[in-house]
Amino acid sequence: MTLSEIVQADHIVPSLQATNRWEAIDELVDQLVASGAIAAKDREAIIDAVKKRENSMSTGIGFGIGIPHASTDLIDEVVGALGRSTEGIDFEALDNQPVNLVVLFLVPQGQFQKHLHTLANIAKLLHNKEFCQALEQAGDAEAILKIISQPAKQ
C-alpha cells in the first residue's frame, strides 16, 4: 500500500503540537479517531499497540522522519495519518536529529506481508529529499494531500 492509499485529507495534521514521539503518536491516533477511521473506543488499545512497537526500537529512521506503526485486530484495512512539525520532535531517531515528518500507520493483525510492503513504500518515498521538502513547505492539509497523491518520481 502506498501513502496516498492510506492517508486521507482528514488524516493529516499540518502543524503537530507534539514535542516527543509519544505525544506525536497520541496526536495522530486522535486525528484518526476524529476522522472516523478508527473507533473512539479502540483509541487506547491502538495507542498501546503503537507504543509497544515503538518501545522495542524507535521508528525515527533519520533524516527528520518517523514512521510509527503497528498491527492490530481492531481495524479491517490499512489506515494511516501524516503529521508535520515545524519545530521538530524528539523521536529518539537513529541519527539523533529532530523529526519533522511523522507517518503513523496501522495494519490489520496477521497481514505481515502488507505491513512490510507498506513500511517499505513509505520509507522509500520519504527518503526522496525533494518530496520531503515539498511536504515541509506545503501550506495546509489539502496541499499535503495533493503532493502525496502525485505519482512518485522514478
* Dist. CA 93–CA 99, nearest whole Å: 7
Helix axis angle, 129-137 relative to 141-149, nearest 10°? 160
- Which of 69, 115, 117, 127 is catalytic? The answer is 69
* Dist. CA 82–CA 103, nearest whole Å: 4
**Residue listed under C-alpha cell 518501545:** 55
* Dist. CA 152–CA 95, nearest whole Å: 26
Active site residue 117: no
Q: What is the rounded (10 degree) CA torsion for 90, 23, 59, 51? A: 140
Catalytic residues: 69
